[in-house]
Amino acid sequence: MWGNKDRYVILSPHLLELLRDWWRVARKKGWMHPSQPWLFPGYRGQHMSGRQLHRLVRLAAARAGITKRVGVHTLRHSFATHLLEQKTDIRVIQSLPPRRRGCCSDTRSSTRRRSTPASPSVRLAR
C-alpha cells in the first residue's frame, strides 16, 4: 500500500520499553512465532497490511475523540509538527530519514544533522 519502504522513527526510552514488553508478552502467549520478524503481526503470520494499520490509526483517533479525518500519513506530519513545537531546528527535521532518501531535502538548506531531537512522545510520558 505504501511502496514497501522501511520507515524509521525516533522512539522515546519509555515507548521503547513498552514495545519490548509487548514483544516479550506476545512471544510468551504464542501470538508470534519465534522466527517471525514482525513486531505487529497481521493475518496468517504475515506482516500487518497497510489497510490494517490504517484502520488501527482511525480506531485510535476515534477512541481519543479526534473527529478530523486521520490516516497513517497524519502521524508523519504530526511528528514533524511536534518537533517544530519543541523548537527543533527545521534543518534537523529535514535531515531525519525520510520515506526514501532525498525526497524531502531542500537544496538551499544544509541537511547536516546538528543534533538528534528528542522524540515528541517523551513529553507524553510525563
- pLDDT at residue number 55: 93
Q: Is 115 exposed, middle or buried (0-12, 13-18, 19+ CB in 10 A)?
A: exposed
What confidence tens digit (pLDDT) does each residue in 29-80 have? Answer: 888 877 777 787 777 777 788 888 899 999 999 999 999 999 888 887 888 8
Using one digit for the tens of pLDDT, what is the confidence trace for 70-104?
988 888 788 889 889 999 898 888 877 655 443 33
Residues 6+ apart with CB under 8 A from 16: none
